[in-house]
Amino acid sequence: MSRSKFFLLVGTLSLLGVARADDGYRLWLRYDKIADEALRQSYAATISEIVVPEPPAQGPGGFGDLGTATVAAARDELSAGLSGLLGTTIPVVTKASRNGALVLGTPCSNPDLLALVTEADLRAAGEEGYILRRVAIGAEHRIVLAANRDIGLLYGAFTLLRQLETHQPIGQLSIVTAPKIQRRMINHWDNLARTVERGYAGQSIWEWFVLPDVVSPRYRDYARACASIGLNGTVLTNVNADAQLLTAPFLQKIAAIARVLRPYGIRVYLPVRWSAPIELDQLKTADPLDPAVIKWWTVKVAEIYRAIPDFGGFLVKANSEGQPGPQNYHRTHADGANLLADAVALNGGIVIWRAFVYDAANPDDRAKQAYSEFVPLDGKFRDNVLVQVKNGPIDFMPREPFHPLFGAMPKTPLALEVQITQEYLGQGTQLAFLAPMWKEVLEADTHRPAADTTVARIVDGSADLQRISAIAGVANIGTDRNWTGHPLAQANWYAFGRLAWDHTLTAAQIADEWTRQTFSNDPRVVAPLTSMLLESREAVVNYSMPLGLHHIMATGHHYGPGPWVDDQKRPDWNPVYYHRADAKGIGFDRTATGSNALAQYAPGAAKPWDDLATCPDEFLLWFHHVPWDYRMRSGKSLWEELCLHYQHGIDTVRTWQKTWGLLQNAIDAERFAHVQGLLIRQERDAREWRDACTQYFATFSKMPLPAGVEPPEHPLEFYEKAVLRYTPGWSAGK
């Protein structure tokens, strides 16, 4: 094709309104030119230049503890973002010279800012927050971006760009904000061989073999994305840790990554394999009270801090799912955590000790075991230890009640762990926007005797005046060009960061922001796409594990249904352990007549769940073994309601297929086709869940499918014999 014909084709496509190609790499930081000319000119009239004062002549202190690199990152982001959005170069200067100057600085770097912001504003901004305000100076105006530390300037820069990307008015701009949770962390379950446990978006982004000599430019883009939503920590590798990570060669590789992340305010944390002293230096024991072990960790931590001066600390999975830990030596979790906490304390490091523990030898309800192990240790951990608790008591199920530990350890900082990667919600193949799920747990009331003890206030430390706070999300990030596999799964990475910064945001707010930045501000796109996002988690629950069913997925890879599985070596790895279907009914009795897991909750939380008449439908089979003919609130039997939930989930996915089809000319062809194909697959998978589960449970209920539920495509034996091979994120050798 000749050049003239090529440009004629491009021009014709533009006139037809066809969106340009987009592979999703830029995530929500696209900075495309604003199409609305009036709005673009309005913004351009309000922001005329970027003012970044020269750093002080003496030392780096004037630009905060991270040095000028963070200010440079903020400057560069603003320059690129504003120039892209406004379609013209916005000059960067050291002194304001025009009406509409955007002035950046801290009180140290730019004392003149003190005349434009108040001491109260600066106190409210704290260590990481910022002030973003349009102010009048005589006949002119300025936009002031002020912070106590440089990292606040970077966070504020991203917020200003978000305001423009989402077409928000800035004429009366006035934002003073600080994060509600201190440590806002991504947990990578990446292995050193670059496989990713429960990863559905390609290989690990960390290229260990060529580090530290080759540092991928992708690391900087990862840092930009994380900083844009306020994340400030990353655990680089799997909690099922490899001791080699602590060796000198790997510490140099980690240091190279840390150098890229540092200007963006992101600290590196490392997972710990408890047996590392034995594996690396042939110690005879890893007993946390043994003097030789204490010395080994003291020396090793000093080595880590020499390589990575701002090292954040350790994340530990111990005595869980076969991982070694202090209990191997008849010590407690507190004994192990305190050993590491003492080693990192002098450098300001923390230890995050996971509460995800369950023992094959323990016959008790798996949902109760973490509570039983950790509640007796409340108040016995060092001040720089957090216990990291999953949102629910089993394992990131599509729906769970909040974990009882959140209402039971007031003397210990508790970090919330959620799973961004969709291990049990369709993985990288199905749409499931998880902000509504996380909001459920954050807003859950633990009903502790103290006032206002929601999970959110326990996690952010305000309920118990904790000194440290943290939240962690298991990453859904990989080497796929669009980072997350499913193009719409980017919304979960985004939502986690936004809620980590401010857990009072609504799921609808977050969905709206992400859609506008990632796809379009056109209402014809925003309304239907946000509707799909907000419906999606509930749809997955309906067609997979409705009414409180849980852990009935297939073995190993956890993709698709497997309620019949009963051959695993541990009872609590078998779906039959959880649904307990029999001729009488279905569900796990966790009341006083069953496992009595309800006793681990405060009476105010437990009371509505304890009675069949008051238990919400969504938790019915979590807490009760319910007769098949039990009359539900709808007037239908449990069996009818169960089957109709499966059908409703499928019907919802079918509406998305139609909705998405209407967006074809408003979304670039690459992402449109990708999502369209995935929605076809999601509908097929939803039908498989319905057909397999309703037929299997019918062998107990002996009841026919109710009206409105489609007949199965295949007999039950077809689904029971189906084998999925080479699924992403799983290998049979684990």
The per-residue pLDDT for 17 is: 42
The per-residue pLDDT for 2 is: 42
Alpha-carbon distance of 17 to 487, in angstroms, equals 22
Cβ–Cβ under 8 Å, residues 526 and 167: no
Alpha-carbon distance of 289 to 286, in angstroms, equals 9
Alpha-carbon distance of 697 to 704, in angstroms, equals 11
Alpha-carbon distance of 541 to 535, in angstroms, equals 10
Per-residue HEC secondary structure of 416-474 comes to EEEECCCCCCCCCCCCCCCHHHHHHHHCCECCCCCCCCEHHHHHCCCCCCCCCCEEEEE
The per-residue pLDDT for 359 is: 83
The per-residue pLDDT for 257 is: 98
The per-residue pLDDT for 13 is: 32
The per-residue pLDDT for 56 is: 55
The per-residue pLDDT for 3 is: 40
Active site positions, annotated: 321, 395, 423
List, as one string, the DSSP characters of 211-270: TTT---THHHHHHHHHHHTT--EEE-S-SS--GGGGSHHHHHHHHHHHHHHGGGTPEEEE
The per-residue pLDDT for 116 is: 86
Mean pLDDT for each consecutive 10-residue tract of the chain (734 residues)?
37 40 95 97 96 64 56 96 97 93 89 84 97 92 95 98 97 97 98 97 98 98 98 98 98 98 98 98 98 98 98 97 96 98 98 93 93 98 98 98 98 98 98 98 94 95 97 98 98 98 98 98 98 98 98 96 95 96 98 98 97 97 98 98 98 98 96 98 98 98 98 98 92 48
Distance from chain centroid for Cα 176: 24
In order of their start, the domains of the chain are 26-177 (3.30.379.10), 183-504 (3.20.20.80), 542-588+625-721 (3.90.1330.10)
Alpha-carbon distance of 424 to 416, in angstroms, equals 18
The per-residue pLDDT for 16 is: 35
Cβ–Cβ under 8 Å, residues 356 and 370: yes
The pTM for the full model equals: 0.95
The per-residue pLDDT for 1 is: 42
Cβ–Cβ under 8 Å, residues 143 and 100: yes
